[in-house]
């Protein structure tokens, strides 16, 4: 069973500036709509590049985007199976298995990434993950979308 984070959890990860850059009255409303899929995370992050949100560094997302592009080309079933195996040897997540965020952090080589960055990266990697996971029968359960 996969549980999605609630709006309060998402809100705490946002800049909390209520700048309306994401075309929502405040960050909490944006978080609520993000949880139910009415808006995309990029709606907020896109504004970073326009200088409306000062707390987040646009260059970090440019570099992260480049890392994600490189990683997408490497996401073969064998590569993912090896990465999941390595994470399992390090220890399972609470509840067993390996969750999507932990896998993305591992594949990007930075376990200290904030959840906002991991969500941003995972949204872009999700189609490649789905294709690869369909070809890995040994990974019958993966906590993620």
* CATH number, residue 48: 1.10.15.40
Q: Are residues 100 and 138 in the same domain?
A: yes
Task: Indicate whether 90 and 49 sit together in one domain.
Answer: no
Domains of the chain: total: 2
Q: In whole angstroms, give the CA distance from residue 129 to residue 138.
A: 15
Q: Are residues 6 and 35 in the same domain?
A: yes
Would you call 99 helix, strand, or coil by DSSP? strand
Buried b (16+ CB within 10 A) or exposed e, 23-42: ebebbbbbbbbbbeeebebe
- The domain of 34 spans 1-56
Instruction: Report residue 143: phi and psi, to 5°.
Output: -80, 110
Neighbours of 55 (CB within 10 A): 10
pTM of the predicted structure, to 2 decimals: 0.52
Q: What tokens does 118 get?
A: 């991991």
For 76-118, write each residue's pLDDT tens digit.
888 888 888 888 787 765 555 667 778 888 888 887 777 777 8
């Amino acid at each position: 069973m996969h549980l999605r984070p609630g709006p309060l959890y998402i809100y705490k990860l946002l800049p909390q500036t209520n700048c309306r850059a994401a075309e929502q009255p405040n960050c909490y409303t944006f978080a609520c709509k993000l949880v139910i899929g009415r808006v995309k995370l990029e709606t907020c992050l896109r504004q970073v590049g326009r200088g409306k949100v000062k707390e987040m560094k646009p260059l970090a997302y440019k570099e992260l985007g480049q890392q994600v592009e490189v990683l997408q080309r490497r996401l073969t079933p064998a590569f993912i199976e090896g990465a999941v195996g390595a994470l399992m040897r390090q220890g399972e997540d609470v509840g067993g298995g390996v969750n999507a965020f932990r896998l993305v952090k591992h594949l990007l080589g930075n376990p200290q990434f904030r959840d906002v960055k991991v969500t941003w990266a995972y949204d872009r990697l999700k189609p490649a993950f789905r294709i690869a996971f369909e070809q890995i029968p040994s990974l019958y359960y993966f906590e993620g979308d």
